[in-house]
Amino acid sequence: MRAGQGWPDELPHAYSPPMIESPDLSRDTGPPVPAPEAGAPESIAATSLEKPAGRRYHPSPEDWRAEIFYSIVTDRFQATEPIAAEGDLADGTSRHGGDLRGLTSRLGYIRDLGATTVQLSPVALNGSGAYHGYAPRHFMAVDPRLGTLAELRRTVDTAHRLGLRVVLDLVLNHAGPVFDYADGSNAWKGTREAADVAANGIAILPLELASPRHFSRRGVIDDWDDTDQETQGDFPPDYRRLATENPRTRELLQYIACWWIKETDIDGVRLDAIRHMDRTFIRDLSSAVKDYARSLGKTNFAVIGEHASSDNTLIASCFESGVSAMYNYGEYRRQNRALHGRGPARLLEHSFENAAKAFGGDHGSTVRFIDNHDVYRFLRDGEPLERLRVALAFLLFSLGIPMLYYGTERGFRQASGSLDPENLADPADPGNREDMFPEGKFVSASSSGDGFDRSSPVFGWTRRLIEIRRRYAALRFGEQEVVFSDPSGPGNYAFVRRHGEGSALVVLNTADRARRLDLSAGVEPGGPLVDVLDPSAPAQVGGPGDGPLSMTVPPFGVSVLVQDPGHRKLRPEAK
């Protein structure tokens, strides 16, 4: 069996234009790029997707909505000796030496925080300068500067033993700078016909991909609002777009994705930049990956799409292609100002209603975040730490799958005060990718020292919120109804999560002063509401019988109100 159900019986042998049999990295500038580890396949034809005899794969979670993601940039997380660094370690654009062995040694920290799924940045072999992993050259080899395939397996196995899942970021939209254009220019060339490749060929592995037909060859995007460029152009500066509209290219990339599942036992994949991929490819890839994972015993393998658009409708349409979850960029963009206290709390309600209408029943399967490796850190220099506390509660208690970004649970900050989308004049990276490990040199006042200090007040607060989310099913699976939002400025935002007979009322104050909250709510007789974040507080608000709920919410206050056992139903009736 070469590739499992639905695959061609034979895959072609390596395409052989006037090129080398393994990548020619001479066009790279900067430090030399290491060769792939011994045994890494140069050709798909030399591999198989047949399940190894006797191997048992880790089962899938029953419901991904119960998970809490923790996203890392491996190069910045934890380095081990000898450190595989390149360039100035205090320079955010250089490689700092974080690796898979270091990550494995810190998985206990992630477990202790309460996160349940580790999302790894790409691990495939990249060229020089691509510490982030988004410029692959060898699609079936672990970058030796991160480790070996055996060490990646060990990372996944250790995570599973600790009760953690692992999602691997796969870059299938584009390769790194694996060829030059014959005309010597990277400029956008239009869509009339594909451009020629320079005579020095295509430096990519596996060799089946080393054909011009597997690349769009239209030049680099210079106008992101141009649909043709968005869907056919190379990424700046010279990341070559794979021709995912080509059926043969689709087959090869589907095989590569399944190979990583077989070899590593991962629980899901993140598909980078799917807004730039052919929709038929996304559909075929999702189907092939899920079917193959199912043959290994992974019955709920996750395919998570990243579509960095503010348009909820466009993001929601990707669910039609069979993905399991989608990054919720639309809500992130719309909620940011309110969470930073620079807009009315009513913006949070409007954002939720907009997304609920667009996503429908898929809303709970969107991945929520307040920051990630492509956007600014949530907390900015000069902002009170309490603002992050409110944002974390908003993230962990709202409808959707929450994703934490490494360092946010430690209060890492960003210097930029802009709440507009990141841009070339004020980029998010590398300032949002500081070193987590104590020996790191690329740090600021907020990230220096031991990033894994469990005594950090934000770490403790985050862990407490996660414990509450885990305790109440309504906060994981419940439908959401907004019952109040301050229309005039920063202030109270309240919503109810309901699941079965259970419910919880979440109250957040985005203002730096106390706010009064008055709700007309139906409360089951004899069931005072208790704030589970502070059971000793006079938050035994409400009381026997039906009636309005009134409370004073302190500055940057957070309350999670539930009824005593036996009085589980909370029924808000009006705003």
507: domain CATH number is: 2.60.40.1180
pLDDT recorded at residue 27: 53
- Residue where a domain stops, chosen among 447, 471, 495: 471
Specify whether 416 is located in the same domain as 534: no
- Co-location of 282 and 408 in the same domain: yes
3-class state of residue 462 by DSSP? helix
In a domain, 46, yes or no: no
In a shared domain, residues 417 and 548: no
235 and 177 belong to one structural domain: yes
Task: Extract the residue ranges of the chain whose pLDDT is less than 50.
Answer: 1-21, 23, 25-26, 522-526, 538-546, 566-575
527 and 403 in a single domain? The answer is: no
Q: Do 225 and 326 share a domain, yes or no?
A: yes
* Inside any domain, residue 115: yes
341 with 423, same domain? yes
Say if residues 76 and 405 touch (Cβ distance below 8 Å).
no
Domain assignment present for 37:
no
Is residue 4 included in any domain, yes or no? no
Q: Are residues 362 and 483 in the same domain?
A: no
Tell me: do 405 and 508 sit in the same domain: no
Burial (CB count <10 Å: 0-12, 13-18, 19+), residue 171: buried
Rounded Cα distance, 235 and 209, in Å: 18
Same domain, 494 and 365: no
* CATH number of the domain within which 388 lies: 3.20.20.80
Domain boundary among 471, 503, 532: 471
Nearest of 21, 23, 17 to residue 178 by alpha carbon: 23
In a domain, 302, yes or no: yes
Neighbouring C-beta atoms of residue 527, cutoff 10 Å? 20
What residue numbers bound the domain in which 493 lies?
477-563
Judge whether 266 lies within some domain.
Answer: yes
Q: Are residues 237 and 335 in the same domain?
A: yes
Beta strands in 109-238 (DSSP E): 117-120, 124-126, 136-142, 165-170
Residue 43 within any structural domain of the chain: no
Number of domains in the chain: 2
Cα separations in angstroms, 354 against 51, 287, 294, 359, 371: 44, 29, 35, 9, 20
The pair of structure tokens assigned to 390 is 């409110």
Handedness of CA 547, 550, 556, 558 (dihedral sign): negative
pLDDT of residue 288: 98
The H-assigned helical ranges of 382-489 are 385-397, 457-471, 474-477
Q: Is 235 helix (H, G, I), strand (E, B) or coil?
A: strand
pLDDT at 549: 82
Residue that is last in its domain, among 438, 471, 504 = 471
pLDDT at residue 397, rounded to an integer: 98
Contacts of 448 (CB under 8 A, 6+ apart): none
Residues 444 and 485 in one domain: no
Query: What is the bridge-based pairing of β-strands 325-327 and 268-271?
Result: unpaired
The pLDDT of residue 550 is 85
Give me the pLDDT at residue 521, please. Answer: 53
Task: Quickly list DSSP for 290-343.
Answer: HHHHHHTT-TT-EEEE----S-HHHHHHGGGGT-SEEE-HHHHHHHHHHHTTSS
- Residue 374, in any domain of the structure: yes
Dihedral of CA atoms 506, 510, 516, 519 in degrees, nearest 10, equals -30
